[in-house]
Amino acid sequence: MNIEQVSKSGIPRHVAVIMDGNGRWAQKHGSERILGHRQGVNSVRSIVEGAGELGIEYLTLYAFSTENWDRPKEEVSALMVLLIDAIVQEIDNLNEKNVRMLVIGDLCCFPKEVENKLREAIQTTSKNTGLNLILGLSYSGRWDILEAVRKISLEVKSGQIEVSDVNEQFFVDHLSTSGIPDPELLIRTSGEFRISNFLLWQIAYSEFYFSNILWPDFRKENLFEAIVDFQNRERRFGKTSEQIRN
């Protein structure tokens, strides 16, 4: 699918992606799992470009979950090295494309060198005004919600706020995605039909799109396809179809 087939009206502001299938891609090609992860960087480059072309404002990529720390330690360390390499390699390109990089997740769990590189990339791109590229790193939806609860509890305990101040907007302002609209569209690749502890609160009304393509084979044309599919849906938010059409 090419970009002309995507309608200019009805572009989602925020698209979130569970990038899955790197290991199976590697297996299919008779190579080590890490090669699949490395190939996955090309897919990231392609959809960041595609998202920019479409005028999407926020693209959130699930790159490493809280649970991924439990993978074999060789794979985890190889992923850390890849993360540094990818940032170093892509940072100029991101700046050129006016992309602002953000991270959601528990950065403190990362090796110092990775954490520093991430903070540096966030800083270097902080003034950019194009696509907001949000990386989910050491992220999980439950972690996000628990962190918000902890922060709010401290504010109640210190007397800064009353329990009755805790409404939906207040809670949202304490999530890691504070200030970012909820994703209208969530994509998962590799033919798995689950959320795997990704944005739990934020996807309350997201449209889901599942693709059988393994992440290292996913390109911006596949993103365009997902957007067109999304554009053909009716989002009712609990209302009736008649209410939506009128």
Residues with catalytic roles: 20, 68
Q: Is 215 in the site for Mg ion (CB under 5 A)?
A: no
# residues near ligand IPE by CB under 6 A: 16
7-46 burial, b at 16+ Cβ within 10 Å, e below that, comes to eeeebbebbbbbbbbbbbbbeeeeeebbbbbbbbbebbbb
- Cβ-in-10-Å burial (0-12, 13-18, 19+) of 168 comes to exposed
Which region, judged by CB under 6 A, interacts with ligand IPE, from 63-71, 80-88, 123-131, 226-234?
63-71
Q: Is 217 in the site for ligand IPE (CB under 6 A)?
A: no
Answer with the entry of Mg ion, ligand IPE, none that 19 interacts with (C-beta below 5 to 8 A by kind).
Answer: ligand IPE
Among positions 58, 64, 143, 224, the unique one binding ligand IPE when judged by CB under 6 A: 64
**Token pair of 29, please?**
């090609």
CA–CA separation, 193 vs 201, rounded Å?
18
Task: Determine the number of helices (DSSP H) and then strands (DSSP E) in the chain.
Answer: 8, 6
Answer with the entry of ligand IPE, Mg ion, none that 231 interacts with (C-beta below 5 to 8 A by kind).
Answer: none
Q: Is 189 in the site for Mg ion (CB under 5 A)?
A: no
Pairing of strands 185-188, 132-139: unpaired
Answer with the entry of Mg ion, ligand IPE, none that 22 interacts with (C-beta below 5 to 8 A by kind).
Answer: ligand IPE
Residue entry with tokens 């290991």: 23
3-class secondary structure, 127: coil
102's torsion region: left (phi>0), alpha (psi -120 to 50) or beta? beta
- Going by the DSSP 8-state scheme, the letter that residue 97 receives in this structure is T
Among positions 1, 11, 13, 24, the unique one binding ligand IPE when judged by CB under 6 A: 24
Which region, judged by CB under 6 A, interacts with ligand IPE, from 17-25, 43-51, 118-126, 177-185?
17-25
Answer with the entry of ligand IPE, Mg ion, none that 147 interacts with (C-beta below 5 to 8 A by kind).
Answer: none
Which region, judged by CB under 5 A, interacts with Mg ion, from 14-22, 76-84, 107-115, 143-151?
14-22
Q: Is 211 in the site for Mg ion (CB under 5 A)?
A: no
CA–CA separation, 191 vs 170, rounded Å?
36
Which region, judged by CB under 5 A, interacts with Mg ion, from 10-18, 20-28, 98-106, 157-165?
20-28
Among positions 14, 15, 18, 20, the unique one binding Mg ion when judged by CB under 5 A: 20
Residues in the chain: 246
Answer with the entry of Mg ion, ligand IPE, none that 189 interacts with (C-beta below 5 to 8 A by kind).
Answer: none
**Token pair of 182, please?**
């909820």
Residue numbers at the binding site for ligand IPE (CB under 6 A) = 18-24, 62-65, 68, 190, 192, 194, 196
Which residues would be at the binding site for Mg ion (CB under 5 A)? 20
